[in-house]
A and B are shown apart, each in its own frame.
Chain A
Amino acid sequence: MEPRPVRIGLRIFSLGVMAFLYIPLAVIVMASFNASRIPTWPIKDYTLHWWSLAMHDQHARTALENSFKVGLAATAVALVLGSAAAFALSRFRFFGKNSLSLLLVLPIALPGIVTGLSLLSAIEYLSLTPSLVTVAIGHSTFCIVVVFNNAVARLRRSSSSFEEASMDLGADGWQTFRFITLPNLATALVAGGLLAFALSFDEIVVTNFTAGAQQTLPLWIYNQFRLPNTAQEVNAVAVFVIALTAVPVYLAQRLMRESGGIGGRG
């Protein structure tokens, strides 16, 4: 047990760090209601004008739809491939296993600009047209890691003796998978899928290189930042996005609680 002054000191320091994490988020939420045309602080007048403007912006809505399409496609690919990789790495021993797990983390360990430029070079080399499909393919590579991390954490904690018992009792491989393995893994997969979606929904560094003429919501927001007098409307969209990603992350966290937290992007 730490001495009392140390504990109090740690508590105050932790409180300070948490404040550092949340004050900027509070600032942006408040700024989205700022009635002034120029971003100012403190905020003198509040309005819902920016919110209604954002709600009726056709470009923003198309971008939002695109983000949903890409997110769903990338999540679907990531769920299948990520869980397959998790099974292979946690239930089997084979040559090159460690290099493979390193390979799976690589899309996240390398800087985003390298991943983005690599994908663009490949697109140019194959003379493909950048589109939502290329964006979704790019997103899948790092969404796989998120699903993989969540699934592997669950598989490591759950022993394979239940599966053996099921087989001993006469179930075949499919029945064992359907009634034992899948229910045990289900919440981890849902959590991984939610996080993968949130990651794709927010991605810009790689998307910027692979999207071509298409716009996803982050790209729309980024372009808006460069135009004059649009900041307030963007703030409103921003708060909407924060709320939208907060829901899946909160749900994922609840689902994974019993297995001791979720493996984030790494």
Chain B
Amino acid sequence: MSTPTASAPFGARRRLSAFFYRHRWLKLLALLIPPLSWIVVVYLAALVVLLATAFWQQDELSGQIIHTFTWDNVRTVKDDPTLHAVTRQTVQMAVLVTITDILLAFPLAYYMARVASRGVRALLFVGVLMPLWSSYLIKAYTWRLMTGDAGTINWALAKIGLGPLHIAFTTTAMWLAFTYIWLPYMVLPIYAALERIPGSLIEASSDLGGRSWRTLRSVIMPLALPGIAAGSIFTFSLTLGDYIMVDLVGGNKTDFLGSVIFRYQGIANDLPLAAAIALVPVIVITIYLLLVRQLGAFEAL
């Protein structure tokens, strides 16, 4: 026999638990409301304010934001040829980095998933993961050291009787650095996609007379495509919005969307115009996401 004081909370708990069991939708709501409201209140609301800010004005004297509607900022973004050039440059870089990363990541992911032994595979997996999680700033800075005129790359080239290259603070240096820094984001989803392909499918292909190349093209590639698309969301989006690398490795010599937005906000202190420019990467990435959704990227994220 238990004492009433000990059984009372137990009974209440039991009743509560039974109540939740009978009303599953209440349990769902209890689970869903906190994370959902956080995302909506913090994130979506902030995005809405960003959108609104793009259509607000700034008092030229006080620098205060006045909440009255204007097309001025958006019109500036739409008509400014410099911003068009910057957008083109940024998108070009994002595409170039994405393609380079696919070319580097696919063979590595293929080796990990289908050729390497279990031990080597585990080693490579951790090996790809560690650089992903080590400090972004440090990785950016090390490329500044490496691409300098007296940097590691020229030192290595001189050893084999080549160079020197003058790539310090150029788009070439940024291309190398971006490719490096986002590479793990491409390797991991491709690896996950390749690993899921059952060996029997590949055997079936060769039984039916498919040679290696044909199997790769007709069986493996279509199944790996969602992984490639998922990885490309990261490489594309991360390059599109970066401004730290543009500063550290590019020396701010070439303007990118991220660095222009940062400059308008931080130095010119013109938040409405910065917000209007920020709509450009939002539009570009939305178009990109709609495109890659066709390739099944979201299932492979």
Residue A50 at the B interface, CB < 8 A? no
Asked if B241 contacts A141 (CB within 8 A), the reply is: no
Asked if B244 contacts A204 (CB within 8 A), the reply is: yes
Q: A31 → chain B, closest Cβ, in Å? A: 6
Q: A139 → chain B, closest Cβ, in Å? A: 11
Asked if B180 contacts A195 (CB within 8 A), the reply is: no
Asked if B152 contacts A41 (CB within 8 A), the reply is: yes
- Whether A266 contacts B241 in the complex (CB less than 8 A), given A118-B47, A119-B46, A209-B265, comes out as no
- Whether A100 contacts B107 in the complex (CB less than 8 A), given A173-B20, A222-B244, comes out as no
Residue numbers in B under 8 Å from A202 (CB-CB): 133-137
> Across the two chains, which residue of chain A brings its CB closest to B125?
A261
Residue B42 at the A interface, CB < 8 A? yes
Point out which of B31, B180, B184, B275 has the most chain A C-beta atoms below 10 A from its C-beta: B31
- Whether A118 contacts B49 in the complex (CB less than 8 A), given A140-B38, A144-B39, A172-B18, comes out as yes
Residue B174 at the A interface, CB < 8 A? no
Asked if B138 contacts A121 (CB within 8 A), the reply is: no
- Whether A118 contacts B28 in the complex (CB less than 8 A), given A174-B13, A174-B17, A266-B301, comes out as no
Partner of B275, one of A10, A117, A238: A117
Partner of A24, one of B44, B143, B185, B192: B143
- Whether A205 contacts B212 in the complex (CB less than 8 A), given A14-B108, A102-B298, A174-B13, comes out as no
Docked Cα-Cα span, A100 to B148, in Å, equals 46
Residue numbers in A under 8 Å from B282 (CB-CB): 110, 114
Partner of A266, one of B148, B234, B271: B234
The count of residues in chain A whose C-beta lies closer than 8 Å to any C-beta of chain B is 93
Residue numbers in B under 8 Å from A114 (CB-CB): 47, 50, 241, 278, 281-282
Asked if B141 contacts A21 (CB within 8 A), the reply is: no
- Whether A205 contacts B241 in the complex (CB less than 8 A), given A92-B28, A109-B289, comes out as yes
The count of residues in chain B whose C-beta lies closer than 8 Å to any C-beta of chain A is 98
Residue numbers in A under 8 Å from B150 (CB-CB): 40-41
Q: A60 → chain B, closest Cβ, in Å? A: 14
Asked if B138 contacts A27 (CB within 8 A), the reply is: no
Question: DSSP class of B's interface residues: helix, strand, loop or mixed?
Answer: helix
Docked Cα-Cα span, A205 to B262, in Å, equals 10
Docked Cα-Cα span, A158 to B164, in Å, equals 56
Residue numbers in B under 8 Å from A41 (CB-CB): 145-146, 150-152, 155
> Across the two chains, which residue of chain B brings its CB closest to A100?
B36
- Per the 8 Å Cβ criterion, residues 177-217 of B in contact with A are 180, 183-185, 188-189, 192, 212
Asked if A113 contacts B128 (CB within 8 A), the reply is: no
What sequence of 0s and 1s flags, for each residue 205-229 of chain A, a beta carbon within 8 Å of any chain B beta carbon? 1001100000000100110010000
Residue B131 at the A interface, CB < 8 A? yes
Partner of B49, one of A122, A172, A231: A122
Partner of A3, one of B126, B212, B278: B212
- Whether A21 contacts B127 in the complex (CB less than 8 A), given A14-B111, A81-B38, A122-B46, comes out as yes
Docked Cα-Cα span, A21 to B52, in Å, equals 42
Partner of B183, one of A21, A102, A144: A21
Residue numbers in B under 8 Å from A182 (CB-CB): none
- Per the 8 Å Cβ criterion, residues 165-181 of A in contact with B are 167, 172-174
Q: A154 → chain B, closest Cβ, in Å? A: 15
Q: What are 21 A-B pairs with beta-carbon distances under 8 A? A: A13-B108, A14-B116, A20-B183, A84-B32, A102-B298, A105-B301, A109-B285, A110-B282, A113-B243, A119-B42, A124-B53, A124-B65, A140-B38, A144-B35, A167-B21, A173-B17, A173-B18, A173-B20, A242-B135, A249-B133, A265-B132
Q: Which 6 pairs of residues, A with B, have the shortest CB-CB distance?
A: A111-B241, A173-B17, A118-B46, A85-B35, A172-B17, A81-B35
Interface residues of B (CB under 8 A from A): 13-14, 16-18, 20-21, 24, 28, 31-32, 34-36, 38-39, 42-47, 49-50, 52-53, 65, 104-105, 107-108, 110-112, 114-116, 122, 124-139, 141-143, 145-146, 148, 150-152, 155, 180, 183-185, 188-189, 192, 212, 230, 233-234, 237-238, 240-244, 248, 257-258, 261-262, 265, 271, 274-275, 278, 281-282, 285, 289, 298, 301
